[in-house]
Structure 1
Amino acid sequence: MDIPWWRDAVVYEIYVRSFADSSGDGVGDLAGVRERLPYLRDLGVDAVWLTPFYTSPMADGGYDVADHRDVDPLFGTLSDFEALVAAAHDHGLRVIVDIVPNHSSSAHPWFQAALRGEGRERYLFRDRTNNWKSTFGGSAWTRVEDGSYYLHLFAPEQPDFNWRNPEVHGEFLDILRFWLDRGVDGFRIDVAMGLYKAEGLPDIGDQSFKAVSPVWGQPEVHDVYRDWRRVLDGYPGERMAVGEVWTDSLEDLALYVRPDELHQSFNFAWLQAPWSAAAFRKVIDDTLSSVPFATWVLSNHDVVRHRTRYAADDPAAGPARAKAAVLTMLALPGSAYLYQGEELGLPEVTDLPDAARQDPIFYQSNGELPGRDGCRVPIPWTVDPPSHGFSPGAVPPWLPQPAAFAELSVEKQEGDAGSTLEFYRRALACRRDLVRSIPYTLEWLKSPEGVLFFTRGPLICALNCGDRPVRLPEHDEVLLASGPLRGDLLPPDTAAWLRRAS
């Protein structure tokens, strides 16, 4: 059986605003991404995922889309996008783009028409509201001039589509084809469990991401993805889709990756697990028993970077735990999603000045929540201020970088065998050599408390989440370790890949 490219792929998420600025306006752009493709090729990833670059007022970093078939001038032109796709393919990289089907921008022509009373059935207008809240804080309803209200599960500038209207279905099938015709290899589906809301929009007590909820995960959403799958399967080259599905049930998650629906769905249980061998093992067991094709992710543009998360109980442990976690993740069956900058060991930036923050979460919570800007600070390419090579010349970046980013820059780490960057390069190269020759299964070995040992054929992965060194399992060769080993001992907060001959 031919193995599809995405089953074992390492996908690198690019938050376009913060990756590389070629135009000199302090904001990352598509041309900047294209210029840095050799870096990604040499890193050893298989594909890139681009966050939204579509026409947008940028109320939510581009996830408020005003035109799904064009590029916002902030990021370049449609020609820039086509050149990026062609260059990526020349470098052996696939391209996945974000698609945002739950809502549009309030500047979208459809919504502007709805405000004039035209085509309101494309959105969710009501004369009376329910008690639903915005995920970003405050009410999920905004009143318009005629006294009616529209639903927005996120910012007021992001009105929710009415997916019970066939016109919305047809529009998004056409949007998929528009980008597939331009060579994209797949889609990351934003808020994939959203789209439909329960008939009648009943009040709710708990609006968190649950499998059973009038807000999320309605059964009708699966027919949407069956239609999308037929479109994807109609194109050559194994085009794919991965869903952003937040749910409290792996059984619910598995429904999205049935053979006639999405190819993958993000596994946020892995991201949400604490630094604990028992917690990691439970997520691994539950995932591999629930979904046919697993995905693993530690950080993305919506969460605190994992180096910082893992340092909550021990500030000094963050870097070591982050490297150990990614080495463990890369040993698991399935595909791995990396977030830009994690290969540099970037921490969350927690001291951004209020005046610099742009995330609507910060503003809709009246500053009570910091929002997501701390994981979106632009990448440091060089040691040079003011932008560490992110922008040309003396242009400051759209979010300020801490001075400590100089020591974490690509320039500083490249060629340093002890750096996080070179560790990622070695790990990804080793994984690529192994991944198609080891079984897509996992077996647990007996291990001490606080420690995980598992095998995939000749590969053994060992992770020590405990507080004392442990003896490594029997092996013939050490392939790679996230930190120095002490003879046959695996120190705390360290992982290793071992090979055994039989």
Structure 2
Amino acid sequence: MTRIYNGISTGLIWLLSFSSILISCSKDAKINTDNSIESLVDIENIESNEWWNDAVFYEIFVRSFYDSNGDGIGDLRGIIEKLDYLNDGNPDTDSDLGVTALWLMPIFPSPSYHGYDVTDFRSINEDYGSINDFKALINAAHSRGIKIIIDFVGNHTSDQHPWFTASADNQSKRDWYLWNSTKPNYNGPWGQEVWHERNSSYYYGIFWSGMPDLNYKNQEVTNEIKNTIRFWKEDIGVDGFRIDAVKHWIENGDRQENTSETLAWWRDLYVFQKSLDPGLMTVGEAWTSTQNIAPYSDHRLDYCFEFDLSYAIIDGINNQNSSNLKSKMNEIITTYEANQYGTFLTNHDQDRSFYRFGMDERKAKLAARILLSLPGVPYIYYGEEIGMLGQKPDENIRRPMQWDSSTNSGFSSAQPWHGINSNYQEYNAIDQQQDRESIWSQYQIWIKYRSQNSALRTGSYSFVESNNNRLFSYVRADSDNNNLFIVIHNLSSQSSNELNLRATSSSLPEGSYNLVNLLNNDVLGSITITSNGAFNTSLSEVSLEGFNSYLLKLERP
């Protein structure tokens, strides 16, 4: 990987001397006053180590995961103590969940419980521990093969951040934020107030008055954020960033989402990001439609979360109809680069999936199987694997983790920062780990299937037609055609008898195969694939129970 150096004029000479490598400067490349290099960059050929496609992520709200010091608040040391629950580093055991990457929600100092209004981008919230605690967590996680990414909330700061207090007092950093002497005559994208008064002037904050937006038209702000990213990567050792609110980065008057200036800023950051390390990952939160997300995944961020797909999975199961889920997957695979999008059921901003499934364990298990067998990069919200409940307001979907049935659910020896869910005695990690029919066990089993089979991690996807719209079926095949699957999910509460499967084309190689149910190694039938991957087969002796799945491996007789 040719490294791109920002902030040093000698980098231009170095780059020009290696013009045959991936990144080249234009004839009229120049040094700006801030010493950054403006150049034409071969974006398409920037090297990227896409390790995330082999990963299963687990999202943690640190405050609610595990309290190691008895103050009622989860902390970084608590995560270290629970790493063996997440992944014990031994692929042969079944006592751990098997996830291979963690996303930590904001860990920076903040006046709020959630941490999305930051007062210092280069230190740790004292409720959670210290920089040394975080380094210890990274080392312990890496020793188990677990990557760690952190939430980076760079669109705005807290109004208590020293940058903003100086800006508001007009002492310095005035143009690090957006100010007007009079209040502009427009509201935000969802009708909210975005201009807020302070010291007889008005500042812009798209989310609320306590979160003033940074001004990324100011190169000093961009440089500071780049240096902060460098700090967390090179000095601390994080593997990537989940970046909040990426579509709001730069406003253009009353246009406050998806501006051309925002897209240009992310293109520049991508070049900088990969210059630090081709494996440094960014995943963006662009809470919008697939088509509006797509530009952000085009060499601006590595990928973004697919919100529409999350709705389609949950609604498809609740409605017992696969039609919208099928069409959404067809749109996705024709929109993004292969596998470059994040998949999930719900996250920290949404009512929990088990609540949305009406506490129906069959639906929760089916959702896990769909999530972990589809292409993309899967994310599991902490507690989703054990059936935690949660309905807005936000505090109630971020309650403490339910570890066992004891007082405070094993989360803390003290009164927790927020009340435990009422279902903790029936739904907790210890009990579910001991039950091979539990929701937890379905997550553990299907994470293992995904980790052991490249087709389920990085393989191609093609839709399989079936005899009714209650079935959601597809092919997953690796690039070498050595790892081949047909996946069938029954979204109905009723059993489906006589499974008819057909495709006019697919990525499957020509030949005859046995269909082996990976769940128990039973041969359920055979299938013949033609030269273009087409097939038409009927498993007349096979019945698929309601809200259940088959993972059929294609094996030569």
Residue 30 of structure 2 corresponds to residue 9 of structure 1: no
Partner of 2:32: none
Q: For 1:180, what is the secondary structure of its paired residue?
A: helix
Contact 1:325 1:495 in 2 (8 A): no
Equivalent-residue separation in structure 2 for 1:55 and 1:344 (angstroms): 30
Change over 3 Å in CA distance of 1:227–1:133 after alignment to 2: closer
1:389 paired residue among 410, 425, 432: 410
Equivalent-residue separation in structure 1 for 2:271 and 2:457 (angstroms): 31
Contact 2:404 2:425 in 1 (8 A): yes
Contact 2:475 2:486 in 1 (8 A): yes
Partner of 1:230: 271
Contact 1:55 1:72 in 2 (8 A): yes
Equivalent-residue separation in structure 2 for 1:32 and 1:231 (angstroms): 33
Partner of 1:300: 347
Q: After TM superposition, give the deviation of residue 187 of structure 1 in Å.
A: 0.6
Contact 1:476 1:501 in 2 (8 A): yes
Question: Match for 1:432: what amino acid?
Answer: S
Partner of 1:375: 397
Deviation digits for residues 101-141 of structure 1, max 9, x if unmatched? 11001111110001211322111122213331486x85222
Equivalent-residue separation in structure 1 for 2:126 and 2:110 (angstroms): 9
Contact 2:183 2:195 in 1 (8 A): no
1:39-78 equivalences under 5 Å are 39-41=85-87, 42-58=96-112, 61-78=114-131
Partner of 2:91: none
TM-score by length of 1: 0.85
TM-score by length of 2: 0.77
Unpaired runs of 5+ residues, structure 2, are 1-46, 88-95, 478-483, 502-513, 525-540
Q: After TM superposition, give the deviation of residue 338 of structure 1 in Å.
A: 1.0
Equivalent-residue separation in structure 1 for 2:215 and 2:153 (angstroms): 14
Partner of 2:187: 132
1:173-322 equivalences under 5 Å are 173-181=226-234, 182-198=236-252, 201-202=253-254, 214-236=255-277, 238-248=279-289, 250-258=290-298, 260-273=299-312, 274-275=315-316, 276-292=321-337, 293-309=340-356, 311=357, 315=358, 318-322=360-364
Question: Match for 1:83: what amino acid?
Answer: A
Equivalent-residue separation in structure 1 for 2:304 and 2:457 (angstroms): 23
Q: After TM superposition, give the deviation of residue 3 of structure 1 in Å.
A: 6.8
Partner of 2:147: 94
Larger-Rg structure: 2
Q: After TM superposition, give the deviation of residue 161 of structure 1 in Å.
A: 0.9
Contact 2:388 2:423 in 1 (8 A): no
Partner of 1:211: none
Q: For 1:330, what is the secondary structure of its paired residue?
A: helix
Equivalent-residue separation in structure 1 for 2:185 and 2:296 (angstroms): 28
Deviation digits for residues 201-258 of structure 1, max 9, x if unmatched? 33xxxxxxxxxxx11111112232223222332234611111111223x233221122
Deviation digits for residues 2-61 of structure 1, max 9, x if unmatched? 973112321111111111111211111111111111111121111001111101111x61
Question: Match for 2:59: what amino acid?
Answer: E
Which shifted more, 147-156 or 66-75?
147-156
Equivalent-residue separation in structure 2 for 1:159 and 1:439 (angstroms): 40
Deviation digits for residues 81-102 of structure 1, max 9, x if unmatched? 1111111101110011111111
Partner of 1:347: 389
Deviation digits for residues 392-445 of structure 1, max 9, x if unmatched? x2x121110133212211111122111111221111111111125886212222
Change over 3 Å in CA distance of 1:189–1:3 after alignment to 2: closer
Residue 438 of structure 2 corresponds to residue 419 of structure 1: yes
Change over 3 Å in CA distance of 1:442–1:244 after alignment to 2: same
Equivalent-residue separation in structure 1 for 2:346 and 2:457 (angstroms): 26
Q: After TM superposition, give the deviation of residue 478 of structure 1 in Å.
A: 2.1
Question: Match for 2:117: what amino acid?
Answer: D
Bigger relative contact order, structure 1 or 2 (CA pairs below 8 A, ≥6 apart): 1
Q: For 2:115, what is the secondary structure of its paired residue?
A: coil
Contact 2:54 2:451 in 1 (8 A): no
Equivalent-residue separation in structure 2 for 1:440 and 1:35 (angstroms): 34
Between the two proteins, what is the percent identity of the paired residues?
A: 33
Question: Match for 2:327: what amino acid?
Answer: K
Q: For 2:555, what is the secondary structure of its paired residue?
A: coil
Equivalent-residue separation in structure 1 for 2:228 and 2:242 (angstroms): 13
Q: For 1:431, what is the secondary structure of its paired residue?
A: helix
Q: After TM superposition, give the deviation of residue 148 of structure 1 in Å.
A: 1.5
Q: After TM superposition, give the deviation of residue 301 of structure 1 in Å.
A: 0.6
Equivalent-residue separation in structure 2 for 1:435 and 1:20 (angstroms): 33
Equivalent-residue separation in structure 1 for 2:543 and 2:49 (angstroms): 37
Change over 3 Å in CA distance of 1:226–1:375 after alignment to 2: same
Partner of 2:548: 494
The root-mean-square deviation of aligned C-alpha atoms, in Å, is 2.3
Change over 3 Å in CA distance of 1:403–1:294 after alignment to 2: closer
Residue 92 of structure 2 corresponds to residue 38 of structure 1: no
Residue 513 of structure 2 corresponds to residue 477 of structure 1: no
Question: Match for 1:383: what amino acid?
Answer: S
Equivalent-residue separation in structure 1 for 2:286 and 2:519 (angstroms): 33
Q: For 1:149, what is the secondary structure of its paired residue?
A: strand
Equivalent-residue separation in structure 2 for 1:71 and 1:494 (angstroms): 44
Q: After TM superposition, give the deviation of residue 473 of structure 1 in Å.
A: 5.4
Partner of 1:208: none
- How many residues align? The count is 453
